[in-house]
Structure 1
Amino acid sequence: MGRILALDFGSKRTGIAVTDELQIIASGLTTVSTSDLLAFLQDYFSKENVELILLGEPKQMNNTASESEVGIQEFIKKLQEKFPEKKIERVDERFTSKMAFQTMIDSGLKKKQRQNKALVDEISATIILQSYLYK
């Protein structure tokens, strides 16, 4: 059984979370510059068995695609070209950034630590992954 990897894709940064091999526990992995994302994934896939990639699907409150969907679709094409053997699924990511911020508050992180946008992205990816695992 391979890991499941979740991406909270952004135009500047992408948060990444991953499961254990048994697909039980979701953990934040890191945040990388989106421009370096494909290279990061190639390196990660060479070391770890990843069976599924989850990509957040940003939607408006009326269920229509958000503006960032265009960039995500372009990335998905590149991802499919580079890793045709990897299965890709989309997961509704509405409110994940707010949930990530609240998680930081609930965890007792100081205000300065909560301003770390890379950490918010990583936690958001973890929330996306958890929502998939526990659906």
Structure 2
Amino acid sequence: MEKIMGLDLGSKTLGIAISDALGMIAHGVETFRFAENQDSLSIPRVKELCAQEGIKKIVLGLPKHMNGDVGIRGEVSLKYKEKLEKNIEGIEVILADERLTTKVAENALIFADVSRKKRKKVIDKMAAVTILQSYLDSH
């Protein structure tokens, strides 16, 4: 089985997670930061990680409103999916409903007694872990 990457796209950050070789456990890699709404700057880093880790599949969080509608942030994620597919040869990008993943990640960090300042630095990476782990658990 191949490793799978999970991504949580924000307006200034990209949370990145990668599965183990068996596709059972997601672990956080990093939070990539970029200038607001300049998500294209993260593409070379994602491409580099895909090459290093032999990744052919990416699970990208798709933010939806609680009623299921895709809003502005969801539209940004749909455009980002197109950029990934255009710039990374042979990659499959799967969209995954990410409603509440940031809240789940934050609650886990609070439970682990991580300070507010440290949580802010890792929340996007943890949200990517949550997105990827949900996908792995359901497949």
Q: State the TM-score, normalizing by the size of structure 2.
A: 0.89
**Residue deviations 1:73-113 (CA, integer Å, cap 9, x gap):** 22111111112411111111000111111011111112332
Moved more, 23-32 or 77-86: 77-86
State yes or no: 1:31 paired with 2:31. yes
Q: State the TM-score, normalizing by the size of structure 1.
A: 0.91
* C-alpha RMSD of matched pairs (Å): 1.3
Cα deviation for residue 67 of structure 1 reads: 1.6
State yes or no: 1:78 paired with 2:80. no
Cα deviation for residue 35 of structure 1 reads: 4.4
**Residue deviations 1:10-62 (CA, integer Å, cap 9, x gap):** 12101011101111111011010234311101211221111210000111111
Partner Cα separation in structure 1 for residue 26 and residue 58 of structure 2: 13
> Which residue identity does 1:91 align to in structure 2?
A
Match of 1:133 among 115, 133, 136: 136
Partner Cα separation in structure 2 for residue 51 and residue 42 of structure 1: 10
> Which residue identity does 1:104 align to in structure 2?
L
- For residue 6 of structure 1, give the secondary structure of its aligned residue in structure 2: strand
- Where does the alignment leave 5 or more consecutive residues of structure 1 unmatched? none
Partner Cα separation in structure 1 for residue 124 and residue 116 of structure 2: 16
**Residue deviations 1:104-125 (CA, integer Å, cap 9, x gap):** 11111123323x2x41100000
Mapped contact 1:12–1:35 kept (Cα < 8 A): no
Match of 2:108 among 92, 103, 110: 103
Q: How does 1:1-135 map to 2 (within 5 A)?
A: 1-33=1-33, 34-114=39-119, 116=120, 118-135=121-138
